[in-house]
Amino acid sequence: MVNAQLPITTTPKYNFPLPQETLHPLELPKHFTKLSLLSLKPTQQKQRLSTKDTATQLPTHLRLQQSISSTELFPLTPNPIDTTIVAIDVSSIRLGETETGFLLGVRGAIVWKESKQYRYLRLGPFPFHITQRTEDEIRRLYRQDHPISRLQVRSIPQVYIIQSRLTTLLERWMQSFIIRTTRNSIILWDGSLAVDTTETPASTIKELLTAAHNNGNIILAFSKMTRLSLHGRRLTDLIFKHPPPCLLRIKEHINHFGQIRLMGNVYVAKFTKGKLAFRMDADKRRSSIEVVEAVQNLLGNDSILQSYPETLRLAHIFSTFTATEVLALQRCITQKSGLRVITTLNLRRLLFGRFGKTQKGC
């Protein structure tokens, strides 16, 4: 047994995250709130925001078709040794169009699983009115030497990806906050460690991974299986031959693909029986043995439903918007700013779409 030989580290008792100098838990919400209020301020200038292509899905998922060289399988045994699990997720939703732009809601959630208990912290929702002016404002803020700006985008965002930028802004901050305030824990992210460098500089992610490492944390990023194939065979088929729980390491040749930089190693995770498997990215600097150990601790500490860790699922649920929340946000915006929503939402999609999520992870 692999586990038996590994050194057992005692997990420190969890305390609610302590603020660091640069990242007070309320600092970003405050900052976000300011930005949000600013965006909702009535404006004389009726400049229309070009909203075309706003729904463009960002290519955060890697296409690996050409690059896979080989795979390695790791059968897993859940290890119940007490380990804290923290999951982070952020959602954003388009609330409708206005005369000059569109309305957006952003919310983040952190869920802890610790001593068999779940606990959450939600930030938001934050309403935004995305107009030319907001864009300018964000541009201006990004140029300032604000402590969080180091975690921000490098390039000036284009109008049509502001939604994604705001979401990422909140997400990176929350990730950074958790990494720096948590020790010896498994930190679950939604998405992958392949970063779009137009959105987040590779150095930012590197910094986050290093900070995590220094605090004894390991980051595991989960995303839906991309259609990976190896020598003409789907990876899903490869992993389904093996009894769960197991992990399949995929070895690639390259570490960037256009604007996308691979900051982690790619695994396929199949934790339970059934048809579902997920892609899981882990820090490149972590050996497969370390990753396997972490995943075994995850399996021993979290409930797993359809190959997906419950803590991450909860973070997802806590951050996504229900149809009621969409209505409530619209109402809140109308009251705060007098803005009227022109295009009504497709509530059907909200209701029947996966938790009403439009941006990430789907």
Partner 1 sequence: MRLYKKEGATVQIISFPNEQVRKGDYLAIEDSKHGDNLIVQVIDMEYANIPGILEELLRNYDGDSSIAGEDVDPFDVAAHIRYIQDARLLICKIRASTHNGKLIPAGSHLPARSYARIRSVSVNELLTRPDGAEGYEIRLGETAEKTHLDVDVRALDGALNIITGKKGTGKSHIAKLLVLSLISHGAPVVIFDLNGEYIGLGQDTEGKPNEFSSKIHVLTPRQNFKVTLEQVKIHVLLNILVNALHLPGTSAREFRRIWHSLEQNGTLTMGELGEAIKNWRCNQHVRDALFSRYYTLLNSRLFTDNPALATSLENALDRARSGGAIVLNLRNESTTNRHIVVEYVLGKLVELLTTRRLRAIFLFAEEAHLYLRETYWDDIVTRMRHFGVFTTFITNQPDTIRENIYRQVDNLFVLNFTNEHDIDPISRAARVDAHTVKSIVRDLLPHHCLVLGKVVNDFPMIVKIKSLDVQAMGQTRLFFPVRICALTP
Give the binding site for partner 1 (CB under 8 A): 25-26, 29-30, 32-33, 36, 111, 117-127, 314, 317-318, 322-329, 331-332, 335-336, 347, 350-351, 356
Q: In the bound complex, what is the minimum distance in angstroms from residue 169's beta carbon to partner 1?
A: 16
Nearest alpha-carbon partner for 220 in 270, 266, 282, 173? 282
Q: In the bound complex, what is the minimum distance in angstroms from residue 29's beta carbon to partner 1?
A: 5
Q: In the bound complex, what is the minimum distance in angstroms from residue 98's beta carbon to partner 1?
A: 17
Q: In the bound complex, what is the minimum distance in angstroms from residue 347's beta carbon to partner 1?
A: 5
Q: In the bound complex, what is the minimum distance in angstroms from residue 2's beta carbon to partner 1?
A: 32
Helices 27-40 and 132-143 pack at an angle, to 10 degrees, of 150
Residues 6+ away with beta carbon under 8 Å from 218: 185, 186, 187, 212, 282, 283, 286, 290, 291, 294
Query: At 44, is the secondary structure helix, strand, or coil?
Result: coil
Nearest alpha-carbon partner for 268 in 283, 259, 279, 282? 279
Q: In the bound complex, what is the minimum distance in angstroms from residue 351's beta carbon to partner 1?
A: 5
Give the separation between CA 107 and CA 325, rounded to whole angstroms.
11
Q: In the bound complex, what is the minimum distance in angstroms from residue 318's beta carbon to partner 1?
A: 8
Give the separation between CA 97 and CA 103, rounded to whole angstroms.
6
> Which residue lies nearer to partner 1 by CB, 123 or 161?
123
> Which residue lies nearer to partner 1 by CB, 167 or 200?
167
> Which residue lies nearer to partner 1 by CB, 332 or 341?
332
> Which residue lies nearer to partner 1 by CB, 119 or 139?
119
> Which residue lies nearer to partner 1 by CB, 119 or 285?
119
Give the separation between CA 209 and CA 285, rounded to whole angstroms.
9
Q: Which tokens hold the place of 157?
A: 């965002």
Rg (C-alpha) for the chain, rounded Å, is 21
> Which residue lies nearer to partner 1 by CB, 3 or 33?
33
Q: Which tokens hold the place of 98?
A: 């206005």
Q: Where are the alpha helices (DSSP H) in 241-309?
A: 288-301
